[in-house]
Structure 1
Amino acid sequence: MESQRNLLLIGLLLVSFFLWQQWSVEQNPQPAQTASVEQQSGIDSASSDVPMADSSIADTQTVSKEIITVVTDQFELHIDPTGGDIVYAALLTHKQELDGEDPFVLLEQTDGFTYTAQSGLIGRDGIDSSVNGRAVFASEKTQYQLVDGQDTLDVDLTYQAANGASYIKRFSLTRGQHDIKVSYIINNTTDKSLQMQMYGQLKQSISSESKNLMMPTYRGSAFSTTDTRYEKYTFEDMAKANLDKQTLGGWVAMLQHYFVSAWVPPANEQNKLFTSVVSGGLSNIGYRGSLVDVAPNSQATISADLFIGPKDQKALSALSETLNLTVDYGFLWWLAVPINKVLMFFQSIVINWGLAIILVTLTVRGLLYPLTKAQYTSMAKMRQLQPKLQELKERYGEDRQKMGQVMMELYKKEKVNPMGGCFPILLQMPIFIALYWVLLESVDLRHAEFLWLEDLSVMDPYFIMPALMGISMYVMQKLQPTPATMDPMQQKMMQWMPMIFVVFFIWFPAGLVLYWLVGNLVAIAQQLIIYRGLEKKGLK
């Protein structure tokens, strides 16, 4: 098969892949909300935020309900005293917009959108109830800050129950980290045993987002159990049926492009993972921990980890061995993982993501060089056979079966593999797709600059990179003689192929186009070297 036809094959494969990908990406429709959904979810309309539990002593106290602000080197958090929920989280080391100064906001609660991290104590003696509402906490201050020279910060909220028991809800933050330890310190000063369980859930407005064909990123929830290492659970899934999984350890998360929030309960405890859809177009995914008995006149601590931040595989793996799977590389993850490691290695040396991509390209092309050489050698042999093939076509053109037999005999006699030119091209396709997902999911490339490009993770705004890529494809075509047997229609398609690819690649992340451009330039150099060698052997 000639290289000209291989280019057409690549185009068809790419188009097919992205059409299949777009079709398979889960949509996020707004499901109709009904009372039956709320009842099935185990949520009472009196307080649809709290999972259903036994009756509780949700006493209240008169305290200020002013929002509590916490600032570290990584976060600006807003904590609502009612329930002690995190209702706002800005990531200070990530910008909202490339040229802006505002930090990226992951959690927020506005008139039109809600995305918060909620936690509480439910059960027989819990302080949060689906009937009586949430506990209202008090705090010494409304402003907390991790100052220079301080590595950790504890933010304590207190609650005094009517029966005399006291509670501290503690948020423990560490410099340089995006995980927060959320703990309940229960001081049972009564003469009766108290029974309760901690829950954590992520609450988000259900939205229907437009999908970019070339960047179909997922927004929705996911979970992990001992039986299921990683599984997405879309907003549509929630509307159809509630998640109900019992597991040792596990985690629940809300995902979006580059960023994730996740509740990670203790790995050695039994937890129940659940979802619910409540009135107002809100979806919840969360966990309920094991029941804890606090003996009279004793103290107990219940805790879980909350991650709010970028999809940093190292940080995510530190919390759970499977949480890094939220960096979703698709079905070629087994190939994407080593590519990502190589990319990270080169970046640590050159300290530039564009140069790192170029080095990855050179590495891939270098490893594939023996196959590339075999490809061009096979193409040269096929071109030499063109006169004989044309003669066979004229002789047996009407008898396709006989034509196929004599062609295979000729290939066997001349020791030519007609598919030899296809294999290297097909081998490059999974590498290309795997790298596509690496670049799409690597938060490090977000707002990464290279030459005139201000962000390698999005399309080139000036279309320079796709244009250069098209020119390189045109040069590659000129280096490859057009087979005499190619019909005029195929010739026309080949002539237009560079322009078709330019239009197609306009929407690709600039980093991926850079990979393809450099690959073409290397291929041109390899072609010139290989063809000169073949000329000396009389094969070209």
Structure 2
Amino acid sequence: MSNEKRLVLFMMLTFLSFLAIQYVMEATGLAPPPKKPQQVQAKLDPAKTNLADATKPGTDQAKEPKKEEQGTDAAKPAKEAKPATPQVAAVPASEMILGSADDKTPEAYHLEVRLKQRGAGVTSIKSSQFDAELDTANPRRKQPRRPLELLIDKANTLPSFALTVRSAKEAKLAATEELDENPEGDLPAARRATEAPLAETLWEVVRDDQGRAVRPITKLNPLTKAKVDGQEILFRTTADDPAVTVTKRFRLFKGEDAFSLTTEFESPEKEQEIVYRLFGPHGIPIEGEWYTSTFRDIFFGQKGSKPTNIVTRAAQDIAKAGAAKFDNTTLPLAFAGIENQYFTIFVEPEGEPRISETVATVIEAKPDAVQKADLSFEILSNPISVGPNHPVSQSYTIYAGPKTQDALTPYGAEGLVAYRKYQWFGIPGASTMARYVIAPLLDHIYALTKQVAGFFGGKKGNYGIAIILLTLLVRMIMFPLGRKQALAAKKMQDLQPLLKEIQEKYKDDKERQTKETFALYKKHGVNPVGGCLPALIQLPIFVGLWQALNNSVHLRHASFLYIQNLAAPDMLFKFPFPGGLPLLGEYFNLLPFLVVSLMLVQTKLFAPPATTPEAEMQQKMMKYMMIFMAFMFYKVPSGLGIYFITSSLWQISERLLLPKVTHATPAAGQSGDDKNPPSGNGGKGGPGGGGRGGNGPAKPPGKLAQLWEKVMDEATKDPTYRKLVSEKDRLEKDQKDKDKGKPRAKPGGRRR
């Protein structure tokens, strides 16, 4: 058995042994059970507030003290945490809904916002413009429409956009005391001041004169000057310490992917300074949890630059043990939010923000999967002066929708459209190409397919066909560079026999071998790095295309052939095994194996033959690595798989048609020319048709060719090189003279 077969057999046995051991351990119960996720709720810090029992899991309201604890000091904080207005009447949850998710027309409500009376916050946000994720149990089964839930209701946590209030004077005093006790400087100690428990208070729902909790409102569209219908709801409560009245107003209008929140503070008794803390959104779902690499991220947009500087952190960077604090304090806050692969929810302050700090928080930690942790943030205000005749309000715009250029531009957050993963491996120009060229081009091509479908009675285009046409268009634009790259590769392939002869002839003299190799390159007009430059120029384009397809919300739920979701793997069929297969999951994806198969065919057809044992072994290892690449990219979105397949087919066709493109009749008398030996490619003098001995006038060399000739001319000026060439010519001349002086041997006879 050869070494190659032994290597393949060893790798296959190792892989199968790993699968078998894992399956046996799980079947026999020897494998340790997965840890249960640890619930960390969005609650007020017990060390910083008096609400230690207010937000424990499993309760929706302030926990009452136990009877045996009443009268003791332990029960005092619970008594102080009781709502200041317990006589507030409860309002049914069905009456606290803004908008609707039933109508998908652009003129209808784009959002359905469900609110909660306790805490006066948001529990759920649904989108009418996008459907919920497909049922992965049977993705090909026709499913009833379910609106996408952009913010999932979690009963055991504080509602999103709840807030607390405290006295600025007490906050400063608490911070000073803590700093005296802790010389290292515990800056977050200011939050340990007493806070009014408004996040767990039952707020009053202010009804209109007709008794409606949700009020109809209108506004003028600044562009069309037409009236736009909307809805609003008001919450109000009064805190005891500090003594302030707080009003929260939520507004939502038709045709918008955002709603507004206005908070108003008033001190009816005295002038005072207060500080409030606003909790951000949490509960954004993970799209394609079993295949995606983008789970939940948190970001801060900072003013002071155009475009807005966006700082992003992934969930694992925030939730892992010992993670550094992620906050925004130095630059004014433009917006802060959370996002998944295709959607985002962010808060944008309006007017003078009066924001001191914005800090990331963990709502639900998962020790066994920190990348899936639920994140949020808190906005801490600067001290605000309020009084009996001096109310202060602060408004926020809350966007909840897709990450598209058109939707985010009105809010100055178009930077969220860019692909911001793996910044440490950034290709210059790739993100710009993806955002400003490729993504709009894909939309225009899709619109073209929609128009063509309209001629045949269709109402929708096809993004699968659009991806194929986009790939072909990019390849056509890059055809001149691609052809040069293919020509350079073919020249190198044709020179391999000559290079092998040089390596065998001068295997003991590496310096001579190198000089002879470069002399051969110059003789045949071959630039060994000529094929790399076109590839480097094409790299930003292809990486930008990859980013655009990987981050496009339009591919979500877009179908093509048997594929139901171009943003997900193709999922040809489901494995009959419970839980699927390790490393592969529950579904068999065909496209990754087609991609690798085309790469193997391309390598087999066009890779130059190995001239050394090392090169031969390297080529074999590359073939095996391509097989493992099928598993590495097994869960790539099917839209990207279509792009790779189309691109590989183009490359194969381009190389197969290359000899026909460069074919020409050789010039008379050139077939035996030593300077331009025939190479079997049409007699153009050099390998691959790159010589100058063909019919017609010679094409003037380009700048790169001129530079290469200059380098080779400088090399010929080297005394060592000239001496070696002269010695070689002398030896060849002596050998020819010696051969001419020898008598020819007669056929069948012996030379004496």
- Determine if the TM-score, normalized by the shorter chain, exceeds 0.5: yes
After TM superposition, list the pairs within 5 Å mapping 1:10-159 onto structure 2: 38=45, 45=52, 59-60=84-85, 61-67=87-93, 68-72=96-100, 73-98=109-134, 99-110=143-154, 116-120=159-163, 122-124=165-167, 130-134=195-199, 135=201, 136-140=203-207, 141=212, 151-159=228-236
TM-score by length of structure 2 reads 0.58
Aligned-partner Cα distance in 2 for 1:210–1:315: 23
| 1:297 match | 389
Aligned-partner Cα distance in 2 for 1:272–1:504: 45
Aligned-partner residue type, residue 273 of structure 1: E
Unmatched runs of 5 consecutive residues or more in structure 1: 1-28, 50-54
| 2:333 match | 249
Contact 2:557–2:566 at 8 Å: present in 1 too? yes
Closer, same or farther in 2 for the Cα pair 1:267/1:280, shift >3 Å? Answer: same
Larger relative contact order (CA 8 Å, sep ≥ 6):
1
Contact 2:286–2:340 at 8 Å: present in 1 too? no
Superposition deviation, residue 314 in structure 1: 2.6
Aligned-partner residue type, residue 122 of structure 1: V
| 1:316 match | 408
SS in 2 for 1:360: helix
Instruction: Map Cα deviations across residues 252-308 of structure 1 (whole Å, 9 max, x no partner).
Output: 111222121111112643423333657975754132344443453355432111122
After TM superposition, list the pairs within 5 Å mapping 1:218-297 onto structure 2: 218-226=295-303, 229-235=309-315, 236-237=317-318, 240-242=323-325, 243=327, 245-266=329-350, 268-275=352-359, 277=361, 281=365, 283-297=375-389
Aligned-partner Cα distance in 2 for 1:410–1:280: 66
Aligned-partner residue type, residue 112 of structure 2: E
Aligned-partner residue type, residue 137 of structure 1: E
Contact 1:114–1:204 at 8 Å: present in 2 too? no
Aligned-partner Cα distance in 1 for 2:300–2:288: 24
Closer, same or farther in 2 for the Cα pair 1:425/1:276, shift >3 Å? Answer: closer
Q: CA RMSD in A?
A: 4.2
Superposition deviation, residue 231 in structure 1: 1.5
Closer, same or farther in 2 for the Cα pair 1:199/1:274, shift >3 Å? Answer: same
Aligned-partner Cα distance in 1 for 2:523–2:158: 68
Moved more, 512-521 or 288-297: 288-297
| 1:485 match | 611
Aligned-partner Cα distance in 2 for 1:426–1:45: 59
| 1:216 match | 293
SS in 1 for 2:331: strand
TM-score by length of structure 1 reads 0.78
SS in 1 for 2:329: strand
Matched, 1:517 2:645: yes
Moved more, 203-212 or 239-248: 203-212
Superposition deviation, residue 404 in structure 1: 1.9
| 1:417 match | 527
Contact 2:196–2:239 at 8 Å: present in 1 too? no
Aligned-partner residue type, residue 78 of structure 1: R
Superposition deviation, residue 375 in structure 1: 1.5
Moved more, 293-302 or 434-443: 293-302
Q: Which runs of 4+ in 1 moved over 6 A?
A: 29-34, 39-43, 55-58, 143-147, 162-165, 205-212, 494-498
Moved more, 252-261 or 520-529: 520-529
Closer, same or farther in 2 for the Cα pair 1:312/1:84, shift >3 Å? Answer: farther
Aligned-partner residue type, residue 120 of structure 1: L
Aligned-partner Cα distance in 1 for 2:284–2:590: 38
- Identity over aligned residues, as a percent? 24
Contact 1:435–1:512 at 8 Å: present in 2 too? no
Superposition deviation, residue 244 in structure 1: 5.0
Contact 1:263–1:286 at 8 Å: present in 2 too? no
Matched, 1:366 2:470: no
Aligned-partner Cα distance in 2 for 1:259–1:120: 25
Contact 1:174–1:180 at 8 Å: present in 2 too? yes
Aligned-partner Cα distance in 1 for 2:50–2:360: 8
Closer, same or farther in 2 for the Cα pair 1:279/1:89, shift >3 Å? Answer: closer
Closer, same or farther in 2 for the Cα pair 1:205/1:404, shift >3 Å? Answer: same
Q: How many pairs align?
A: 500
Aligned-partner residue type, residue 385 of structure 2: D
Contact 1:158–1:166 at 8 Å: present in 2 too? no
Closer, same or farther in 2 for the Cα pair 1:198/1:169, shift >3 Å? Answer: same
Higher strand share: 1
| 1:23 match | none
Contact 1:78–1:86 at 8 Å: present in 2 too? yes
Aligned-partner Cα distance in 2 for 1:250–1:41: 28
Instruction: Map Cα deviations across residues 67-114 of structure 1 (whole Å, 9 max, x no partner).
Output: 322233322222111221101112232222334522222222336x85
Aligned-partner residue type, residue 294 of structure 2: T
SS in 2 for 1:341: helix
Closer, same or farther in 2 for the Cα pair 1:197/1:182, shift >3 Å? Answer: farther
Closer, same or farther in 2 for the Cα pair 1:95/1:423, shift >3 Å? Answer: same
Contact 2:592–2:634 at 8 Å: present in 1 too? yes
